[in-house]
């Protein structure tokens, strides 16, 4: 799996020799650690959140420092990040040496035992890069359907042989199984239907092509039923996400959460009612806001300013909806909370 190579190269080598005093808009957290050793399992976003009040700003830091660092290297477990005081202000530095802090960037060999850490939890978003799907109404009806099995069973799981009707021969042997799911409704447009979320059920490999083809269920996450539809397998490639705030005003809502829970925390996957047609793109970082009310001295409820309670990171975009990872939550996030440019 290709792990976000551009972002991995950008972050903390980009902080080498950076004077935070010269980056007035990029603020260091008050409780930022003076020294931190990178460990396996860290993400670049998580480490940035330890140091910066706005962790999505670290690409801006690199842009400001590109004239000094033409060939940034990656950050690895064991690297040390320190804050030091200089005549120009506070400075962040990184070192690959446990005993010596060096200012200049350098090349280092990369091995399987010392792999750079990812920007965001790649294992969390990878299952969502090709599944689930957001489709138009009845779109799956045009795809090949599972007919059943020779023993007349109607429920299938890993290892079962199945028969499939109208299987094309020019799209490979490996297919994913989907079932039409819930409608995704836009609460800001009288519950207009934005699309239908097709639920991923498993994988089938076709072993013999014919008018009624034979196949084997190679993986199942839920029961597969007669009538479920097959869609060609799409490789789950991790893109080189470049976190950034939209450069335009936008207000949307969280309309769904994967697994159907009502309260949402960090690392949850949510669906937004904004997509490609609204200029949303992978890498956009949006702040989550909660509408609040307070009781006046007269006993009446009045609207208070919206309270910012978290951040989401967009990683997959359809025409009218987008999937995002919750990367920060100060309070439990709920369906219908608003998202805006931070």
pLDDT digit string, tens, across residues 68-94: 333 333 567 777 777 766 666 666 666
Tell me the three state secondary structure of residue 56: helix
Kind and range of the H or E run holding 75: none
> Percentage of the chain with pLDDT > 70?
71
DSSP 8-class letter at 295: E
Residue ranges matching CATH 2.40.10.410 in the chain: 251-340
Assign 3-state DSSP to the chain and report helix, strand, coil percentages, each to 5.
15, 40, 45
pLDDT digit string, tens, across residues 39-62: 877 777 777 778 777 777 766 554
Whether 139 has a pLDDT exceeding 80, the answer reads yes
Listed residue (236, 313, 251) closest to 282, CA to CA:
313
The pLDDT score that the predictor gives to residue 277 is 95
Residue with the bigger pLDDT between 251 and 97: it is 251
The pLDDT score that the predictor gives to residue 72 is 38
Please check whether residue 32 is in contact with residue 105, taking contact to mean a CB–CB distance below 8 angstroms.
Answer: no
Whether 198 has a pLDDT exceeding 60, the answer reads yes
Residue with the bigger pLDDT between 127 and 337: it is 337
pLDDT digit string, tens, across residues 158-176: 999 999 988 999 999 999 9
Which CATH code is given to the segment(s) 251-340?
2.40.10.410
pLDDT band at 17 (very low <50, low <70, confident <90, very high): very low
Whether 66 has a pLDDT exceeding 50, the answer reads no
Backbone φ, ψ for residue 183 (5° rounding): -75, 140
Region 288-306: what's the mean pLDDT? 80
Whether 119 has a pLDDT exceeding 80, the answer reads no
Whether 67 has a pLDDT exceeding 80, the answer reads no
Cα–Cα distance measured from residue 20 to residue 22, given in angstroms and rounded to the nearest whole number? 5
Backbone φ, ψ for residue 126 (5° rounding): -55, -40
158, 160, 169, 342 from 284: Cα distances, Å: 37, 42, 38, 10
Cα–Cα distance measured from residue 254 to residue 262, given in angstroms and rounded to the nearest whole number? 11
Cα–Cα distance measured from residue 331 to residue 290, given in angstroms and rounded to the nearest whole number? 10
| pTM (predicted TM-score) | 0.69
Which of 114-123, 128-137, 220-229 is the least confident region? 114-123
Q: Mean pLDDT, the chain, as a whole number? A: 77
Whether 220 has a pLDDT exceeding 50, the answer reads yes
The pLDDT score that the predictor gives to residue 300 is 78
CA-only gyration radius of the chain, Å: 24
Which of 40-44, 266-270, 312-316 is the least confident region? 40-44
CA contacts within 13 A on the Cβ side of 158:
5
Region 99-124: what's the mean pLDDT? 49
The pLDDT score that the predictor gives to residue 237 is 60
Please check whether residue 333 is in contact with residue 310, taking contact to mean a CB–CB distance below 8 angstroms.
Answer: yes
Residues of 85-98 as b/e, b for ≥16 C-beta within 10 angstroms?
eeeeeebbbbbbee
The pLDDT score that the predictor gives to residue 328 is 87
Beta pairing partners, 329: 310
pLDDT band at 3 (very low <50, low <70, confident <90, very high): very low
């Amino acid at each position: 799996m290709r792990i976000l190579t551009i972002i991995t190269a950008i972050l903390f080598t980009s902080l080498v020799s950076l004077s935070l005093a010269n980056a007035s808009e990029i603020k260091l957290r008050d409780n930022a650690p003076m020294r931190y050793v990178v460990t396996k399992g860290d993400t670049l976003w998580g480490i940035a959140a330890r140091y910066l009040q706005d962790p999505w700003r670290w690409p801006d830091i690199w842009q400001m420092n590109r004239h000094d660092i033409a060939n940034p290297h990656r950050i690895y477990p064991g690297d040390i990040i320190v804050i030091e005081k200089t005549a120009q202000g506070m400075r962040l530095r990184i070192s690959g040496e446990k005993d010596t802090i060096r200012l200049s960037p350098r090349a280092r060999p990369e091995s399987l035992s010392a792999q750079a850490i990812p920007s965001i939890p790649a294992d969390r978003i990878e299952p969502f890069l090709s599944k689930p799907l957001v489709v138009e109404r009845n779109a799956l009806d045009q795809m090949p359907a599972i007919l059943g099995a020779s023993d007349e069973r109607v429920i299938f799981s890993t290892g079962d042989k199945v028969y499939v009707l109208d299987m094309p021969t020019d799209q490979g042997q490996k297919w994913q199984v989907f079932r039409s799911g819930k409608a995704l409704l836009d609460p800001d447009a009288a519950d207009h239907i934005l699309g239908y979320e097709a639920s991923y059920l498993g994988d089938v490999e076709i072993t013999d092509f014919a008018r009624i083809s034979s196949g084997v269920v190679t993986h199942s996450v839920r029961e597969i039923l007669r009538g479920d539809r097959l869609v060609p397998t799409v490789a789950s490639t991790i893109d080189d996400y470049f976190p950034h705030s939209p450069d335009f005003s936008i207000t949307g809502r969280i309309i769904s959460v994967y697994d159907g829970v009502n309260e949402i925390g960090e690392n949850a996957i949510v669906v937004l009612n904004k997509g490609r047609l609204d200029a949303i793109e992978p890498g956009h970082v949006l702040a989550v806001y909660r509408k609040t009310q307070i009781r006046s001295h007269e006993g009446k409820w009045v609207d208070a300013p919206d309270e910012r309670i978290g951040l989401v990171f967009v990683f997959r975009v359809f025409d009218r909806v987008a999937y995002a990872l919750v990367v920060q939550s100060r309070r439990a996030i709920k369906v219908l909370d608003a998202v805006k440019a931070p």
